[in-house]
Structure 1
């Protein structure tokens, strides 16, 4: 039985790699790989499907907004988005062409270690993290003339 919240279409071994990432970072609560449009590609054990989907959507939106700051104000390419909350952090990093890696951690976590471990994972599996952008399909209705 697979305890991971992802679908069978997630890249092979990615769930296991996310589990290892979470175990290496003290205070890490979960990690998700997501496409640029917010769809989860894989998630670490323990988050549950609903939380994986919710975290992926939030991470995508935040990362997109942060990328807009660099573009609009001429600050260059976005490397990482860090959100500090009262009791935790959300860190989102580019992970391949059209993919991001998000990690949720408690407030006691070491941001330097989080960034380092996320970059190690990305370096190891970058080619597997590239997401193919979705293309809108024309849907024909039997009611169209």
Structure 2
């Protein structure tokens, strides 16, 4: 199996993601990411796959926000689910500026996985906040 803690992406929350994957049958991996696509914590993926998953999940989350603001009255995303032939991908909000992405086999009980994701997020939400990145000032201090 792939390393649970890729180089450069270590977090005290890795064990929580591992617990989620172990509790829900057929769940393969989980990534906690900033809403702009940076890996914060990961279980069950190698570093390249974790980065790719974070980028995909960030894009899906952004599309969900856009759909919500255009058609749903607000941009709050609870969950985005992608159903493939043999895999389910769940992306949910996990705190201010943070998302949780989980890959599972089609055999998984989607309701149980959704519930477990929600319970994980609720139990540690204050620790999942990712502040927005600040733009770096240009040389010379003009800010351009």
State TM-score, norm by structure 2: 0.88
Residue 26 (structure 1) shift:
0.7
Partner of 2:54: 56
- How much is the aligned-residue C-alpha RMSD, in angstroms? 1.7
Aligned to 1:70: 68
Contact 1:6 1:42 in 2 (8 A): no
Distance of 1:87 and 1:8 partners within structure 2: 28
Structure 1: 5+ residue runs without aligned partners? none
Encode CA deviations 1:97-127: one digit per residue, 9 max, x unaligned.
0000110011111110110000110011101
Name the count of aligned residue pairs. Answer: 137
CA contact (8 A) 2:34 2:130 kept: yes
Residue 9 of structure 2 contacts residue 41 of structure 2 at CA under 8 Å; is this kept in 1? no
Aligned to 2:87: 88
Deviations 1:120-142 (A, max 9, x none): 1001110111001111102428x
The residue that corresponds to 2:98 in the other structure is 99
1:23 is matched with 22
Q: 1:116 to 1:3 in 2, by over 3 A?
A: closer
User: When the two structures are superposed, what TM-score results if normalisation uses the length of structure 1?
Assistant: 0.88
Query: Cα gap change, 1:131/1:89 in structure 2, threshold over 3 Å: closer, same or farther?
Result: same
Superimposed CA distance per residue, residues 55-85 of structure 1 (whole angstroms, 9 cap, x where no aligned partner) = 0110000111011111011344221000001
2:86·2:105 contact (CA, 8 Å) conserved in 1?
Answer: yes
- For residues 62 and 56 of structure 1, the distance between their equivalents in structure 2, rounded to whole angstroms, comes to 10
Using a 3 Å threshold, how does the CA distance of structure 1 residues 136 and 69 change in structure 2: closer, same or farther? same
2:127 maps to what in 1? 128
Decide whether aligned partners of structure 1 residues 25 and 37 sit closer, same or farther in structure 2, where only a CA change above 3 A counts.
Answer: same
Q: Is the 1:33–1:40 Cα contact (8 Å) retained in structure 2?
A: yes
